[in-house]
Structure 1
Amino acid sequence: MKRIAQQPVTLNSKKMASMKLFCRFTFLFLLISFFNSGSAQRILISEPDRDDSRKMDFEIIGKMGNNYLIYKNIRNESFICLYDNEMKMIKKVKHEYLPDDRMINVDFFTYPDHIYAVYQYQRRNIVHCAAVKLDEMGQKMSDPIELDTTSLGGSSNNKIYTVLASEDKQKLMVFKINSKNREKFLITTKLYNNNLELQKKTILTMQMDDRNEHLGEFVMDNEGNLVFTKFYRSSNESISNATIIIKKAMDDSFSFYTLNLEKTYLDELKIKVDNTNQRYLLSAFYYGQKRGNIVGIYFLAMNRTMWKPELEKSFEFTDDLRNEAKGESNAKMAFNDYFIRDIFIKKDGGFLVSAEAYYTTSRSSPWNRWDYMYGSPFAYPYDYYSPYYSSWRNTANSSQSVRYHAENLAILLFTNKGDLEWSNIIRKEQFDDESDYRISYNVMNTGGQLHFLFNMQEKKNLLLNDFSLTPDGQITRNPTLRGLDKGHEFLPKYGKQISAKQFIVPCFYRNYICFAKIEFN
């Protein structure tokens, strides 16, 4: 191959200045492009399958190897569908061992080299809870293992068992609550290790002293300790008395701590496990009087070993924060439509709380916060004698004319002592006249930032937006995600983070459901 000798080239000063200016603009353009790419780089959407109607039940399982697995229940038949990196379906595995007729619920727990599917179904008047081990192709690796059974007095489609996994996935717990005797609830727990070997079975009685006493959220830590709340609430009003309860993994008893509320009334109780600092954080909005205005946030941090509070205090919202968060309300009522949605724990025990303004409007009846939260006063989400159980697809109201609203997000970071470090507001206005499927938000944690994903109306299109939050509280609206102009309507609150940089979100396309994978840098 011949090499052509290059002759020296000389440029005059004008040409050199012009070239330098061009290089600077080119560098600036590349720099802007680089920083803009800090948002989602691309979005890949699966083709709708003809069987994947909007009535389909589904569960986003996660990523195994190079495949993305999604469970689908179609006309009472169970499938696990495998998608490749481009979200093209490569396999659809029917699971014959899952009963077709009386399947009640299934939960999936992913590990590096396998998946556990824990499911419950009914045959005659017996509800069975069983588990099966699956490989990365969604194929059965073992025969189903029966974990527990419950005899019912009559026919029921209710979810009886609740399955919890510890943060490190080394513990699984199956529990059920029998409330047939309203004065004494019977709580049965079964604790398993990561090989589904039974470690401890416990049957305990929980004394319920009043018809207005209820059990709240249940969580489990990495040691297998079960933590939950019991509270007193009269006639769908705020909580006037509450207790946090622990059943340690190998104990046959409960330990109690009664919250110091004095003249404080609490909203919905939220519990978050802090495995790093070996404590449990309980938080709730609080009122100064029954059905009054929300005043601030109550915190309780319980030490796991001593079962004593390390922190118990109330933070009152400042006037500045109220004015930022108020939306259409006056400052005193600024937080009356807000609900605590997420709590993130820092390594040092500090915590971030995000809350969203949510309400409905209707010609027939006014918005009622307490009816929305609690529904029937006899509804227990963990109680197999309760008729209240709903999946993702029947959250819409009846045929009444209702408009659903999801508005501003308030984000607050507190130290491990409960002192406010900073606060910020993401402003949004969402509404829907059909259901609340498309409104609200989800969070993607990429390590250095939190990404808040939600739909916003832009011209005639409903587009998925990405707002990122830095550790010091700075909020950035990232460029609109690419690939959103194909007629898909995203359902971000039903999405799931499946890896450090990947998020799968379901979406409507005409009368079908399909799935989009969002990849972040």
Structure 2
Amino acid sequence: MRTKFLSVFIMILCSLQMALGQHVVYADINPNDVLQMNFEILGKAANNYLVYKERNDKHRISVYDANMHLLEEVPVTILPNRKSLLDVAFFAGPRQYYLLFQHQEGDVVYLKAATIHPNGRILDEPIILDTTMIAYKTDNKIYSTVASNDNSKLMVFKINKRDRKLYKVSTKLFDENLQPISEGQFSLPMEYKGDYISGHSIANDGSYAFVKYNRHNDGNIVDASLIVKPAGADTYKEYPLNIGDLFLDDIKLMVDDMNGRYLLASFFSTHKRGDIEGLYVAALDQKDGSVAFEKTTLFSDDLKKRAKGRSNTKNAFNDFFINNIIVHKDGSFTIGSERLYNTNNWDRWGFWGAPYWGPGPWGFWGPTWGWGWSRWSFWWPYSFYSPFFYRSYWWGYWGPAWGGRNVEFNAGNVALVSFDKNGDKTWDEVIVKSQSESNTDATISYQIVPSGDNMHFLINNSGKLSVLENIIISNDGSLTKDGGIQAKEKRMNFMPRYAKQIESNEVIIPYALKNNIGFAKLSL
């Protein structure tokens, strides 16, 4: 009897510890923080927490303390008006944050940077990182930026596509203080129809990598290569992937600096426009491009059934999209995918072609169709979710813009497939969920917060009182659900896909409340 009582007591104690381990503090709602604003959570600077916000061409940085009390709203006055402002982005160096912005003056597009101090102020004049001469007025950004995993490097690149058969790529590499390290140019042969590039990334040593692939008109990828340009070099190396008779879907690239390699992943089918049958995974060495492994894993009927929740499993993964490649310390990795669909009757084969054609010879070609700062276009699941700049133009976009039609966005189950360091499958798991929202996708989907040997999946469960679920999956695939965090009032919906991990056990998460957006700090 004593043994049974002790076991029950320990179980209760563990449950209490898990419940008490989670803590959330809310910032008060600011009436100016409406659903129609843009924002990005920057992170922690000294003892402050910084959030960038923009509404009606007025830019500001909100400064919160550790208890999410608003200390100050700092106006950002260095930015030009929206007519000449092309893009705003941020770089989180190890010691400070930088505001990056592009704007056009006459026939010159400038890329500039300004230091954001811990008090949210920009005290110094912006510095010019690069300029580009163009002969037309553009509404679209010229430059793209990507940071290394350790935030010690920032790569700035632009791609001239005036000659569709020969891309001219210009790169500039900066250190954590935005001091220039190197710059270079190279030309990339492209077929007029079918060749695309995506997955732009840089390693901690400054090497620039991306995927070049050929996609047929039917939507299938039939040929692909990993392109790597070492830091300081003007030449690149091309490493063809051994796709064979597979038809790939969309290739994701992740730099695995801990193990000195590039990881690639894609869904595949064995027939043109066929049902998704499994995962293709590959790893190439960062130094010499040697192939560590290229393997395919077929989805079992059991996994398909759990993923779709139906007995008909043949097309179970046709509306799943890869969101994440999570690399673990031991070299193993987990691929997360999610079921995404809407009521606009599109499918994964229906958008190829148009999203890759941006206006002007400098428009960025990539897997996400965006049109700079001035507006945001179609909802497109072919991109990693977070960190993600929240663009308020999605709110209500599908109503007036589409003749008053309402569109319901849906995010279903999450399928996780884990592999060891050699690319062999070790386990799979499905997180069951069903989320939907009209005319916006801001409150659906999920966010992953890595912490030690665990992955925390934060999911908003809408209801009369919404609940932020925290589903914990360890590296061995075991799943634990905690009690979740209930919203403090009705009509509050968490927005986890835009949350940002600040420290190992600390997350800033936005939420929608009636017509406003608020912010909360979650301790896991």
- How far residue 496 of structure 1 moved from its aligned partner, in angstroms, is 1.0
Q: Are 2:17 and 1:34 equivalent residues in the alignment?
A: yes
1:233 paired residue among 196, 215, 223:
215
2:513 paired residue among 497, 501, 509:
509
List aligned pairs for 1:413-452, cutoff 5 A: 413-452=418-457
Q: Is the Cα contact below 8 Å between 2:167 and 2:187 reproduced in 1?
A: yes
> Percent of pairs identical after alignment?
33
Q: Report the equivalent of 1:6.
A: none
Structure 2 Cα separation of the partners of residues 445 and 480 of structure 1 = 17
List aligned pairs for 1:330-369, cutoff 5 A: 330-362=312-344, 366-369=345-348
Secondary structure (helix, strand or coil) at the match of 1:272 reads: strand
Query: Residues 195-242 of structure 1: CA distance to partner in whole angstroms, max 9, x if unpaired?
Result: 322121112111112322111110000110000011111236121111
Q: Is the Cα contact below 8 Å between 1:42 and 1:482 reproduced in 2?
A: no
Q: Report the equivalent of 1:492.
A: 496
1:63 is matched by which residue type in structure 2?
A: K
Q: Is the Cα contact below 8 Å between 1:164 and 1:172 reproduced in 2?
A: yes
Query: Residues 128-187 of structure 1: CA distance to partner in whole angstroms, max 9, x if unpaired?
Result: 101112221122353311011122332222122111111122211111111121111111
CA spacing shift, 1:171–1:393, aligned 2, 3 Å: same
Q: Are 2:62 and 1:58 equivalent residues in the alignment?
A: no
CA spacing shift, 1:153–1:470, aligned 2, 3 Å: same
Structure 1 Cα separation of the partners of residues 102 and 406 of structure 2 = 35
Secondary structure (helix, strand or coil) at the match of 2:15 reads: helix
Q: Are 2:392 and 1:393 equivalent residues in the alignment?
A: yes
Q: Are 2:368 and 1:376 equivalent residues in the alignment?
A: no
Q: Report the equivalent of 1:11.
A: none
Q: Is the Cα contact below 8 Å between 2:224 and 2:240 reproduced in 1?
A: yes
Secondary structure (helix, strand or coil) at the match of 2:68 reads: coil
Structure 2 Cα separation of the partners of residues 183 and 500 of structure 1 = 46
Q: Are 2:298 and 1:294 equivalent residues in the alignment?
A: no
CA spacing shift, 1:383–1:452, aligned 2, 3 Å: farther
- How far residue 291 of structure 1 moved from its aligned partner, in angstroms, is 0.7
Structure 1 Cα separation of the partners of residues 360 and 478 of structure 2 = 37
CA spacing shift, 1:378–1:25, aligned 2, 3 Å: closer
- Between stretches 369-378 and 216-225, larger displacement belongs to 369-378
Q: Which runs of 5+ in 1 are unaligned?
A: 1-16
- How far residue 22 of structure 1 moved from its aligned partner, in angstroms, is 10
Structure 2 Cα separation of the partners of residues 382 and 219 of structure 1 = 22
2:237 paired residue among 255, 271, 290:
255
- How far residue 27 of structure 1 moved from its aligned partner, in angstroms, is 7.1
Q: Report the equivalent of 1:402.
A: 407
Secondary structure (helix, strand or coil) at the match of 2:462 reads: strand
1:326 is matched by which residue type in structure 2?
A: K
Q: Are 2:125 and 1:143 equivalent residues in the alignment?
A: yes
- How far residue 21 of structure 1 moved from its aligned partner, in angstroms, is 12
- How far residue 123 of structure 1 moved from its aligned partner, in angstroms, is 2.3
Query: Residues 43-79 of structure 1: CA distance to partner in whole angstroms, max 9, x if unpaired?
Result: 2222222222211111100011211100111221221
Structure 2 Cα separation of the partners of residues 368 and 74 of structure 1 = 33
1:46 paired residue among 14, 19, 27:
27
Q: How many residues align structurally?
A: 497
Structure 1 Cα separation of the partners of residues 492 and 89 of structure 2 = 27
1:392 is matched by which residue type in structure 2?
A: R
CA spacing shift, 1:173–1:345, aligned 2, 3 Å: same
Q: Report the equivalent of 1:4.
A: none
Rg: which structure is higher? 1
Q: Is the Cα contact below 8 Å between 1:218 and 1:229 reproduced in 2?
A: yes
- How far residue 32 of structure 1 moved from its aligned partner, in angstroms, is 3.2
1:384 is matched by which residue type in structure 2?
A: G
2:419 is matched by which residue type in structure 1?
A: F
Structure 2 Cα separation of the partners of residues 485 and 205 of structure 1 = 56
Structure 2 Cα separation of the partners of residues 29 and 355 of structure 1 = 34
1:34 is matched by which residue type in structure 2?
A: Q
CA spacing shift, 1:310–1:354, aligned 2, 3 Å: same
1:82 paired residue among 60, 63, 72:
63
Structure 2 Cα separation of the partners of residues 508 and 346 of structure 1 = 33
Structure 1 Cα separation of the partners of residues 276 and 415 of structure 2 = 14
Query: Residues 6-54 of structure 1: CA distance to partner in whole angstroms, max 9, x if unpaired?
Result: xxxxxxxxxxx99x9999987765443123334xx22222222222221
Structure 2 Cα separation of the partners of residues 217 and 331 of structure 1 = 30
CA spacing shift, 1:382–1:111, aligned 2, 3 Å: farther
Q: Report the equivalent of 1:209.
A: 191
Structure 2 Cα separation of the partners of residues 110 and 247 of structure 1 = 23
CA spacing shift, 1:239–1:26, aligned 2, 3 Å: closer
CA spacing shift, 1:310–1:279, aligned 2, 3 Å: same
- Between stretches 377-386 and 305-314, larger displacement belongs to 377-386
Structure 1 Cα separation of the partners of residues 49 and 277 of structure 2 = 44
Q: Is the Cα contact below 8 Å between 2:162 and 2:362 reproduced in 1?
A: no
Secondary structure (helix, strand or coil) at the match of 2:16 reads: helix
Q: Report the equivalent of 1:14.
A: none
CA spacing shift, 1:43–1:55, aligned 2, 3 Å: same
CA spacing shift, 1:383–1:312, aligned 2, 3 Å: farther
Q: Is the Cα contact below 8 Å between 2:343 and 2:408 reproduced in 1?
A: yes
Q: Report the equivalent of 1:8.
A: none
Q: Is the Cα contact below 8 Å between 1:183 and 1:208 reproduced in 2?
A: yes
Q: Are 2:167 and 1:198 equivalent residues in the alignment?
A: no
- Between stretches 29-38 and 129-138, larger displacement belongs to 29-38
Q: Is the Cα contact below 8 Å between 1:180 and 1:385 reproduced in 2?
A: no
Q: Is the Cα contact below 8 Å between 2:153 and 2:175 reproduced in 1?
A: yes
CA spacing shift, 1:416–1:30, aligned 2, 3 Å: closer
Secondary structure (helix, strand or coil) at the match of 2:258 reads: coil
Secondary structure (helix, strand or coil) at the match of 2:77 reads: coil
Query: Residues 361-395 of structure 1: CA distance to partner in whole angstroms, max 9, x if unpaired?
Result: 24xxx331123576535259995267842363234
CA spacing shift, 1:382–1:514, aligned 2, 3 Å: farther
Query: Residues 412-470 of structure 1: CA distance to partner in whole angstroms, max 9, x if unpaired?
Result: 11011111111111111111222222111111112232111112234x34332111112
Structure 2 Cα separation of the partners of residues 254 and 82 of structure 1 = 43
- How far residue 488 of structure 1 moved from its aligned partner, in angstroms, is 1.6
Q: Are 2:152 and 1:170 equivalent residues in the alignment?
A: yes
1:64 is matched by which residue type in structure 2?
A: A
Q: Is the Cα contact below 8 Å between 1:42 and 1:483 reproduced in 2?
A: no
1:68 paired residue among 39, 45, 49:
49
Q: Which runs of 5+ in 2 are unaligned?
A: 377-389
CA spacing shift, 1:112–1:467, aligned 2, 3 Å: same
Secondary structure (helix, strand or coil) at the match of 2:259 reads: coil
CA spacing shift, 1:382–1:72, aligned 2, 3 Å: farther
- Between stretches 247-256 and 393-402, larger displacement belongs to 393-402
Secondary structure (helix, strand or coil) at the match of 1:280 reads: strand
1:354 is matched by which residue type in structure 2?
A: G
Structure 1 Cα separation of the partners of residues 361 and 264 of structure 2 = 19
CA spacing shift, 1:376–1:384, aligned 2, 3 Å: closer
- Between stretches 462-471 and 182-191, larger displacement belongs to 462-471
Q: Are 2:137 and 1:155 equivalent residues in the alignment?
A: yes
Q: CA-atom RMSD, angstroms?
A: 2.6
